[in-house]
Structure formats: C-alpha cells, structure tokens
Structure 1
Amino acid sequence: MAPRRLLLVGEGNFSFAAALSETLDDSTSVTATCLQHPADLARDPVAWENLRRLRERGTEVRFGVDCTQLADAFELHHREFDRIYFNFPHCGRKAGVAKNRELLAKFFQSCKDVLAEEGEVHVALCRGQGGTPADKPLREWHNSWQVVAMAALGGFILSDVHPFSCEAVPGYKCTGYRSQDKSFHVEGALNHVFTRSLPFEGSQPRIFRTKLGDRWFSFSEPEALVGKLNRGFLEAPSCHPVRIINEKLLAELGKVFPLKRLKCPFPLLPEGSTSVLTSWSRDIPSAAFWINLHEDNSNSESLADGTTQDMEDFLVLFSERSLLRDPGRDGKEEAHEESYGQSKVCLRPSLLVHVQAVIQAPAFLPGCLHVLSGPVFQKCRILPSTMPAFHETLFIIGFNKNLKDGCLQSLLDHLKGFLDSLLTQTLLEGSKLSSSVEFVFQPNGKEYSINVKPHNFGPDWATDLTVGSVTTPSTGIMHEDQCFVLVSMNLDLLAMLVWGISDWRMLWSFDHRFLKNFVSGNIEPFRSYSLYPPCYVHDISFWLDEKKGFDELEFHTVARAVSRDMVISIQFLSRFQHPKTQQVSLCYRLTYQTCDKALTQQQVASVQSQLRKEIQQRLHVIPR
C-alpha cells in the first residue's frame, strides 16, 4: 500500500500535528499548515517547541495557507491527500453561525481539489455546532453550523461521526483563533468524517434495443425508473442483498419441496398480458409503466457504451406464444408480428403475469416448486415503504386437491419458520423481535398476506409491512383435478428488514461502498456510509383544469421522475376554491432528501423549478 498522506489545516500552536505525528509510522507523511506567518507565532514558546519536534521528524510545515484556497497552496503533483484534518474551525472573535457556515462551505469546496478519490475529510466541532442528531443536545437547525449541508456544497457526505478525544493524541492542546490563550470547550466535541459523494451527472434515461425477428426496436427507460432496468442484482456473480436473501429462501424451501428454477424473461409485456391479474383481483395494470417501441435500424455496433443495452432475454418473452395469448379473446392465438411497432407495451407489474404460461407448459411438474425471480415495476405514491421497482420471487406449486390442506400448511409452516429466523439474525443480543411473522387471511378468501412489524426503522414506517402473499387462485385457467398455491415475496423489502436498511433507494445505489457490506454473504447490521442527510422542504400549489381532472398518483410519479427519487414525502396541505371563479387549487408540501449523494439547497431549488414546469405540461395544471 502506498504511504498515506495527511494534511492538517488551521493549526494553531501545532500541538495536534506534533502529537499526531508521533503516533504514526514512517510510511505516513504529514503536512501541517496554518494561516499565520512565522512572525505571528514569535511570542508563543509552545508553538515553537512543537515546530521543533515536527522538524526533527521531517514533517513538512507550511505557513500562510488559506484552507479555503488549498489548490493555490499545492502544486498538482503535491495534492491527492488521503486525509485532511480541520480541528475546531472558527472565523474568530464573535463571528456568528452564518460566517462559520460560510467558512465550512468554502473549506469543503477547496478540499475537493486536493483530496484523493477515496480520501476523508475530518472536521472536529464543539458540542452542538454540527447540527446533526449525533449532537447532544441537538441545536435548532438554524442555530447550528449545518456541517452536512455545507459539506454537500463541495460534494461530500458525512460517513462517520464519533467523539473527539484529546486523550487519543497525547500532548494536544486546543487553542483559540490565532493561537489565543483561551481554548475552545472540547467536552462533548465530535469528529465528523466526510467522503466524496457520487455526482448527480449521468442519470439521464438510457436507450435499450432489442431484436424481434429480423427487425430492431428501441425504447427509452421511463424517467421514474432511471438506473433501475437491467441491473442484474439476481445474477450469479452478484453479492447484492436481494440475491443473498433469494438464495437463502430457495435453499430453505428446497429442503422440503423439489425446486425447479425457471429463466425469468425481460419484463416487457405486450398489451393484454396483464389482464390475467384482474382474474385474481389485482388492480395493478392501471399503475404499470407503459413503453413506446420504435423501429430502429441503426447499427448496434456503432452505438456508444452505456447508452444502449441489447435485451437478449426480451427475445425469450416474445418467442413464448403462451405469454402473448390474450385471455380475454377466448384463448385464440393471434399473430403479434404486426403489433411490434405499437406503443402498447409495458413493464410487468408482477411476476403473476407469467403464472398461466408456467402452469400450462408441458414440463410443469405437480408437487414441485417452480420458481421465477426477477424485477417488477409499479407506479406508486411516494412513501417510505413503497417502491416503483423491486425484485420479486414467485413460487408456483400444484398438487392434487385431496392433498391441498396438508401441502399448504407445510409450506406456510416452513416459510414462517425461515422468515422468523432470518429477521432475528441482526437483532442486538438480549433484544427480541417485537412481532413475529404473521399470515393474515384476506377477505377475498383466496389469499394470505405475509406481514412483519419493522423493529429497527423510524416512526414514519407503517406498523405492519407486507413482504409477500400466499394465493390460492380460482380454477378458471387451471387443471380441473389440481389446485395451485402461489407464494410471492418482495425481496427488496425483506432485505431491508433483515439488514436494517431503512431507505429502499439505497438498494439501487451505484456507490461501490454499498455492496461492500455484503461481500462476505454474512448477515450483519447494515452500516450506512451517508449519515444524517439534510432535508429541504418546498411547497407547491396549482390551479386544476376541471375538464382534465387530476390524477394524484401521476403527480407523485412526475415528482419522482423529475427529482430522480430525491422527493421522499408528498403531503397534501390544503384545497382552496376561489369564491368568484369557483376554480380549485391544491397545495402540497414536498420533502427532498437523498440517501447516498450530496444534495444542496441550490440543487433542490432547481428541481422544484423544473417540477413546476413539468406538472403544467404533463398534468395540465397551472402553478400558482
């Protein structure tokens, strides 16, 4: 490993630099800097003694270094520091919180020019200054230095925070501004560790291409699903938590029933394929994402990497005639070759659309669990537990009607036992799960919902979360002498509960640090690398068009698309009707927050402005 390079800024009497340098091995180099010039320290014997110790160790010392202009202090070949330390920054004298926020903001923007790609910025602040929940007591946001928001201006996220201990660096004596004798109060101080965030750039919808027969077609990724198509989380090389959960689930049920894993086609469906859901009272197709296919005769070899993806599995779906049969037309097969260019194609809202094809296949084996696993997509309101894209595993088993009760009970018992065991693996020693997994029989008389009460999430989460369902469908499309059981599991929600991942968006992160938590395959509590991201609140109101109406689900979908999932809450505030014109206005409150990127107030304001334009165009409302 290359020697670590440490940069210390804002040193007062250089006691921290001297103490730290004596705890490091020879492979680590330290550059200690201060804003003052040598003449400013002439009357400080402690500072000169520390400087002598530093020089004896060969430590580089620089004077007159402005921590807000670090690029000016170091040549290109002398940058790339692994760590930058700034202990107890302060503008001096009686500067208020606004001035000190400005200092932090400029410091972080300066750090990005001299910090290594995977480097860290350490900032020690006195008790309560940071404005994060780690502060005890927690100050009001407007009265804090808002360190996480200031760091975001430089593209940094808070990845760790822990008590600042002077004992860890013996000999360190904190000094005030310009080495004043009066030191800062370090009792209860915290050290904040910041790392680089992935940039927001490059999140435009991708173009996918597929070949049907001898013709090529292309389609654009829906804006609300940017970065969520064709991620391969369930594929063999993946160490993603949804795959780990899926493999454990299959291994457990495979101990009791023979398993047959089926290849899951790419989730594009022609019009009519989702109608099978309505026979099981699934009102999902109305919330599906519809895709426009366009004939594309361009040479696929000449397309730039990262902008297109050829869908081999898409061919599988369109070659299976059973999946293209429209159940609403007396089962008559129709030639779909002419419909390839039509726009009525959607992303599947559930794996249940494939049940009929699986059961009617010649290779279907009664008594065997047939397994499909793949991503599904649904428009949904913006809530903590709802997600527009997730991974579903579907178990399909058929057996003689006389064996139904025994087989069903055996399946439920093993599934419940496995889930109970899984959900207790990350609990702290001595604690208990507040509620075990429950199978709740639904009023339709055909379905159980699989409910779990989250034990490690915040109050915004529902009391009970539905992680799956067990369905015994009617025999309309089934064999007369057999009955069937369908078990559907939301792998994403299950993974979140098991590892304690409170934000579903984290499962789709492109940051390599996320997957590092799961490389070993062990189940341990998830430790986020982005702590206490700030929230930004904006209100939006608009006049409705009486003739067009208003679809609130579509409003949530547009907000999700425009913000790239930065909106985490949409709260209805009020409805106003003008006394003269009788025109109706609605007002909503939007809360913006990211889970793995640095988000600034300026970025949020830009998104809010864009959202106003988009809802006017797409929803036919008039922003106020």
Structure 2
Amino acid sequence: MATPVVKLMALPVEGKKDEKVVRWLKHYSSAQSILIVGDGDFSFSRALATAFGSGANLVATSLDSYGALICKHHQAESNVRELKKMGATVLHDVDVNNMKLHTCMKMKRFDRIVFNFPHAGFTGQETQLHVINSHKELVRVFFRNASNLLCPDGEVHVSHKTGQPYDRWDIEQLASEYSLVMFEKVGFAKGDYPGYNQKKGDGRKCNRSFPLRNGCTFKFRMARKESEDESAMYCLVAAMAKMSMARAHDNVTM
C-alpha cells in the first residue's frame, strides 16, 4: 500500500517575516475550517488532525452520545481524547436533521463539510425500496442543513459507494434540491487516511468495518447565480480583449 502524501505549503503571514506552514491530506488542509459529520469512531477526524499536526480547524461530530459511542466502538475513547488534546472541537448527539441549529455550529461557516458513507440503519436489505428511501431522506436532510453551514466558496463532500443499489440514492439529485452542484467525483481510498476505520455504527455488529469497494467522494458547491456567471464571462471577455489589443500593439511596433 502506498504511503499517503502529506503536502506542505508555506503561506506568508501578513505583517510578519515568518511563514505559516499549511499541511494537506488529500482534499483537506489545515487552513480550512472543516466539519466532519457522523464520524463513527472518530478515526477519520483523528487522521486529519494527525496529518495537520493540530485539530484546531476541525469540528468532529457523532449522532451517538459519548456514552453510547464508547460502548459501540472500541477505539472511540482514545480517538476522542487525542482529538481534544490536539485542539479539535468534538460534539456528540448531533443529528443531521437539525445540526444547522446546534448551539456550537449555528453561527459558524465551514470551508469543507464532510459526511463519509452515510447510512440510515439496518432495517432490511439494501435493495429494498423502503431502505433506499430512508437512506435518501438522511442524505437529503444532510444537504439541507449543510447548505446553511457552508462558506460561500465552500464544498460539501459525501463519500459513498457506487454501483447498484447505491446509485439509486440519486445523490446528485438530492443535492440539487438545495442548490448544490456536483463538480467532481473521485475514488475514495481508505489508505489515504492513515488510521481511518469505517464502522457500521448500528446493530449487533456496529463496531465492524464494511467493504469500501467502488467508493467515491462526491464534491459539491453552491450553484452560481446568473449574475455571477455573467460577471465572470464579462471579466473573461475583457481579459481576452486586452490581450488582443496588446498583441496588435506589439505587431505595430515590430
């Protein structure tokens, strides 16, 4: 397995000679404010904090209470403890149905909002219509809340299996109901996030992992308004006209 690459980038700090190092792990950086929703045993959040050398930019959440969490997941207690040591905000009892109203989040806006492999629980076979509809409703309310917590240029990332029956969740359609447009879909590799352990999270086998075959990260942004598109087109046309005039001037003076 290839070793995940942690990219480093030095950013100048205004008014100071020294530079601030920004660390990257895959799609995420220590310069972004990141909300991680429903993080199982909090191992994904810990992977990011470890790579960044700090959790100060992270808000990591679970649907379970802390008591229920540590009963379900053997590594949750140590993961939560380490996250807090690294300065992360860790929240429990956070329901996607109303997370935009949560006391610790309603005044915040995030650069990235991440929900890895959302699942509404085991109430039947994954191919059954009522099960698919319950998963879709979970994702729908997530998008509804996430759209209210996102920075203007922020992104919502949902990692999800592809193929049948998972394609029937219609994630792109659900996102579009809240003006979120998919701009990229990339393969999800567990090895990119050292220490991450995806968990079932429900039922007797809640602490067991599940296969991530054909997993992808779907990336969404808020749809641009027509006025913004027109402004961008105007700037592009003006820039092209300026370049054309410059070339014409060069040809005359040669």
- 1: CA distance, partners of 2:232 / 2:33: 38
Deviations 1:178-226 (A, max 9, x none): 37133232122101111111357x89xxxxxxxxxxxxxxxxxxxxxxx
2:214 counterpart of 1:188: yes
TM-score (norm: length of structure 2): 0.72
Q: What's the offset of the Cα at 1:21? A: 1.0
Distance 1:24 1:181, change over 3 A: same
Aligned positions of 1:213-228 closer than 5 A? none
Deviations 1:210-264 (A, max 9, x none): xxxxxxxxxxxxxxxxx98xx7968xxx43399369939x85xx96xx8xxxxxx
Task: Find the partner of 1:54 among 59, 83, 86.
Answer: 83
Please say which structure displays the higher CA radius of gyration. 1
**Structure 2, unpaired ranges of 5+:** 1-12, 14-29
Tell me if the contact between 1:70 and 1:113 (Cα under 8 Å) persists in the aligned partners.
Answer: no
Aligned positions of 1:154-165 closer than 5 A? 154-165=178-189
- Return the structure number with greater helix share: 2
Indicate the residue corresponding to 1:113 in structure 2.
Answer: 148
Distance 1:242 1:97, change over 3 A: farther
- 1: CA distance, partners of 2:100 / 2:53: 27
2:198 counterpart of 1:174: yes
The CA RMSD over aligned residues, in Å, is: 3.4
Task: Find the partner of 1:101 among 93, 118, 136.
Answer: 136
Identity %: 24
Tell me if the contact between 2:143 and 2:174 (Cα under 8 Å) persists in the aligned partners.
Answer: yes
| 1:112 maps to amino acid | S
Distance 1:233 1:121, change over 3 A: closer
Distance 1:6 1:246, change over 3 A: closer
Q: What's the offset of the Cα at 1:77? A: 6.7
Indicate the residue corresponding to 1:91 in structure 2.
Answer: 120
- 2: CA distance, partners of 1:27 / 1:14: 12
Deviations 1:37-95 (A, max 9, x none): 12212433211121122122122111100123111214567411111110000111036
- 2: CA distance, partners of 1:85 / 1:66: 14
Indicate the residue corresponding to 1:82 in structure 2.
Answer: 111
- 2: CA distance, partners of 1:30 / 1:16: 11
- 2: CA distance, partners of 1:242 / 1:22: 43
Distance 1:85 1:77, change over 3 A: closer
Q: What's the offset of the Cα at 1:4? A: 2.6
Q: Which range is displaced more, 78-87 or 1-10?
A: 1-10
Tell me if the contact between 1:4 and 1:82 (Cα under 8 Å) persists in the aligned partners.
Answer: yes
Q: What's the offset of the Cα at 1:150? A: 0.5
Aligned positions of 1:175-324 closer than 5 A? 175-178=199-202, 180-199=206-225, 238-240=235-237, 243=240, 247=244
Distance 1:98 1:4, change over 3 A: same
Tell me if the contact between 1:4 and 1:27 (Cα under 8 Å) persists in the aligned partners.
Answer: no
Deviations 1:524-573 (A, max 9, x none): xxxxxxxxxxxxxxxxxxxxxxxxxxxxxxxxxxxxxxxxxxxxxxxxxx
Indicate the residue corresponding to 1:126 in structure 2.
Answer: 161
Instruction: State the secondary structure of the residue aligned to 2:52.
Output: coil
Instruction: State the secondary structure of the residue aligned to 2:93.
Output: coil
Q: Which has the higher contact order (CA 8 A, sep 6+)?
A: 2
- 2: CA distance, partners of 1:28 / 1:123: 22
Tell me if the contact between 1:3 and 1:28 (Cα under 8 Å) persists in the aligned partners.
Answer: no
Task: Find the partner of 1:20 among 15, 40, 48.
Answer: 48
| 1:119 maps to amino acid | G
Q: What's the offset of the Cα at 1:167? A: 1.2
Indicate the residue corresponding to 2:33 in structure 1.
Answer: 5
Q: What's the offset of the Cα at 1:159? A: 1.7
Indicate the residue corresponding to 1:153 in structure 2.
Answer: 177
Distance 1:76 1:125, change over 3 A: closer
- 2: CA distance, partners of 1:61 / 1:18: 11
Tell me if the contact between 1:233 and 1:242 (Cα under 8 Å) persists in the aligned partners.
Answer: no
Instruction: State the secondary structure of the residue aligned to 2:139.
Output: helix
